[in-house]
Amino acid sequence: MTRYVIVGSGEAGDPVTHAPGVWFWSDHYDLGLQMTGRFSPDDTIVRREIGNGFLLFALDPSGRLRAAAGIGTGNAVAKDIRFAEMLIGRDACPAPQSLQDPSLSLKTLLRSA
């Protein structure tokens, strides 16, 4: 939810509560772990293989991207986690095949969201 929606809903007399997105990172020797969003037991998990690591995407029952996590060498997953965070913020519903395909940039999905 963008700050414009939050401000606009307040001005219209129907304020919404905004909870900032969850974001986590940790380094373990040569590996970097990052996560954004909130995973739920009802989510469908889609896995994307990347070089020396992988990404996991959580889609809710309606197909909306809710969370993403990844692990890889150094900061290999940082850019993809940031794009996933933006997709989550736009309530995007990317196709599972698109999320799984390492040849398709998440930036491309963001442009069409």
Of 84 and 5, which is predicted with more confidence?
84
Per-residue pLDDT for 15 more than 90?
no
- Domain count across the chain: 1
According to the model, what pLDDT value does residue 31 have? 95
Judge whether 5 lies within some domain. Answer: no
Judge whether 89 lies within some domain. Answer: yes
CA 93 to CA 60: how far, in whole Å?
9
Of 48 and 2, which is predicted with more confidence?
48
CA 72 to CA 55: how far, in whole Å?
9
Per-residue pLDDT for 14 more than 80?
no
What domain range is 60 assigned to? 21-112
Checking 38-46 for CB contacts under 8 A at 24+ apart, the result is 38/66, 38/67, 39/66, 39/67, 39/69, 40/66, 40/67, 43/67, 44/96, 46/96, 46/99, 46/100
- Tell me the whole-structure pTM to 2 decimals: 0.82
According to the model, what pLDDT value does residue 44 have? 98
CA 110 to CA 94: how far, in whole Å?
9
